[in-house]
């Protein structure tokens, strides 16, 4: 093979037909379009779908990825586009790496984001290793995020369509994983562009709705899932104010989240009360005025740094951060405490910053993502 062969669309100096790519197929429109697009371009495509939880229960469930219906849809796309497709049983791995931690952290009063752990510990770890075992040159996914080449190697950048950007859920992607991963949809201007491609390829799922829920949490009802995973978790206790005065009773700390106002069963007060803290050991839901939800200081640990140089080689970094997936990045000063821990100062105070959520780092002057870490209590 001549060394001066032009780079193909995935960045390899060889023809697409000699480039094997494993596509992580959830059965949704996005990953299906990626697989179909690469197959049409002539790549040696291998589709892989993960069965992440009980198949029987999945069959009756809508609105989440990796369910039985989705496995069928992924297989059908592979048949239509004529490439091999495999279903891998990752149920035990998923339970150990994602579901158990979700249950434990939720019981500890945190607000976990299991989709990040799934990407980090299952899709971009075990599945990525499987792709390498299949002698694939790279692994492609349907995530809306961009991989760009910089002076020091591959960089992570926000998607062109800000409304679909998934950078919050992919901050823990390591430099080594980023070298191997490809995100063909990240430059699309809109989701409609992806659906148009699905129609072009004749895919039956072109108008399939996007998944909304966490795949193992039907209808967003976290508490019901936790009760099944950890029997006895919904033990009653007291709703108290910040001085410890009992205001009402509750039927389980797991039914409450930081910042919650409705459903407290406390009426007739001049000032509305919000959940400001959860004390699992005492079975207390602690409530207070809205201003107690506001904070400037956010302790962060388990930091994955994707910027240039070592994370802790400077005293502070002036960047932007996201402390929840639904809000735009805000200006902040990040002060490293070690290679993997930091104190983040928000220049504008934010309400409802909750342990268990991610704090993702962004460049103020470009679309680049510098990684991020996990918010914790700091004590």
118 has catalytic annotation? yes
C-alpha dihedral, 110 to 115 to 116 to 118, nearest 10°:
110
Per-residue exposure over 14-51, b if at least 16 CB sit within 10 Å of its own CB, e if not: eebeebbbbbbbbbbbbbbbbbbbbbebebbbbbbbbb
Q: Where are the beta strands (DSSP E) in 176-270?
A: 181-182, 237-241, 246-250
Per-residue exposure over 272-298, b if at least 16 CB sit within 10 Å of its own CB, e if not: ebbbbbbebeeebbbbbeeeebeeeeb
Cite the annotated binding site by residue number: 24-31, 50, 142
138 has catalytic annotation? no
Assign 347 to helix, strand or coil: strand
The pair of structure tokens assigned to 117 is 């752990």
DSSP assignment letter at 340: S
Q: Which residue has the tokens 């002060």?
A: 335
Residues with Cβ within 8 Å of residue 346, at least 6 apart in sequence: 295, 296, 297, 298, 321, 323, 330, 331, 332
Catalytic residue among 115, 118, 138, 359: 118
Residues with Cβ within 8 Å of residue 53, at least 6 apart in sequence: 66, 91, 94, 95, 99, 215, 216
Taking each helix axis from N to C end, the angle separating 68-81 and 29-40, rounded to the nearest 10 degrees, works out to 20
DSSP assignment letter at 379: -
d(CA 184, CA 27): 16
Cite the annotated binding site for ATP by residue number: 24-31, 50, 142
Catalytic residue among 65, 115, 138, 215: 215
Distances (CA, A) of 199 to 49, 144, 181: 22, 19, 26
Report, as residue numbers or ranges, the catalytic residues. 118, 215
């Amino acid at each position: 093979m001549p060394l001066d062969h032009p780079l193909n669309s995935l960045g390899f100096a060889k023809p697409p037909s000699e480039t094997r790519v494993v596509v992580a197929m959830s059965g949704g429109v996005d990953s299906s379009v990626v697989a179909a697009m690469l197959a049409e371009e002539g790549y040696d495509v291998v589709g892989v779908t993960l069965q992440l939880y009980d198949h029987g229960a999945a069959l009756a469930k809508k609105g989440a990825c990796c369910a039985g219906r989705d496995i069928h849809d992924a297989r059908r796309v592979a048949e239509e586009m004529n490439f091999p497709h495999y279903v891998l049983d990752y149920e035990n791995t998923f339970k150990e790496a994602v579901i158990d931690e979700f249950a434990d952290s939720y019981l500890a009063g945190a607000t976990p984001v299991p989709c990040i752990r799934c990407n980090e510990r299952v899709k971009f770890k075990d599945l990525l290793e499987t792709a390498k075992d299949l002698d694939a040159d790279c692994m492609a996914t349907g995530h809306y995020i961009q991989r760009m080449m910089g002076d020091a190697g591959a960089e992570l950048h926000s998607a062109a369509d800000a409304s679909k950007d998934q950078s919050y859920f992919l901050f823990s992607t390591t430099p080594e994983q980023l070298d191997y991963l490809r995100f063909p949809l990240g430059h699309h201007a809109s989701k409609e562009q992806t659906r148009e491609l699905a129609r072009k390829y004749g895919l039956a799922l072109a108008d399939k709705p996007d998944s909304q829920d966490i795949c193992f949490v039907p209808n967003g009802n976290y508490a019901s899932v936790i009760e099944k995973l950890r029997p006895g978790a919904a033990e009653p206790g007291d709703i108290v104010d910040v001085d410890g005065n009992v205001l009402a009773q509750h039927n389980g700390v797991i039914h409450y989240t930081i910042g919650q106002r409705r459903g407290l069963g406390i009426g007739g007060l001049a000032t509305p009360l919000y959940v400001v803290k959860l004390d699992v050991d005492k079975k207390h839901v602690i409530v207070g005025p809205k201003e107690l939800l506001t904070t400037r200081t956010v302790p962060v640990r388990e930091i994955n740094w994707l910027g240039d140089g070592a994370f802790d080689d400077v005293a502070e970094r002036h960047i932007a951060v996201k402390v929840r997936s639904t809000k735009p990045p805000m200006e902040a000063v990040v002060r490293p405490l070690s290679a993997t821990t930091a104190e983040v100062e928000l220049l504008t105070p934010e309400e409802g910053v909750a342990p268990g959520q991610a704090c993702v780092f962004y460049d103020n002057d470009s679309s680049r993502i510098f990684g991020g870490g996990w918010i914790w209590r700091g004590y």
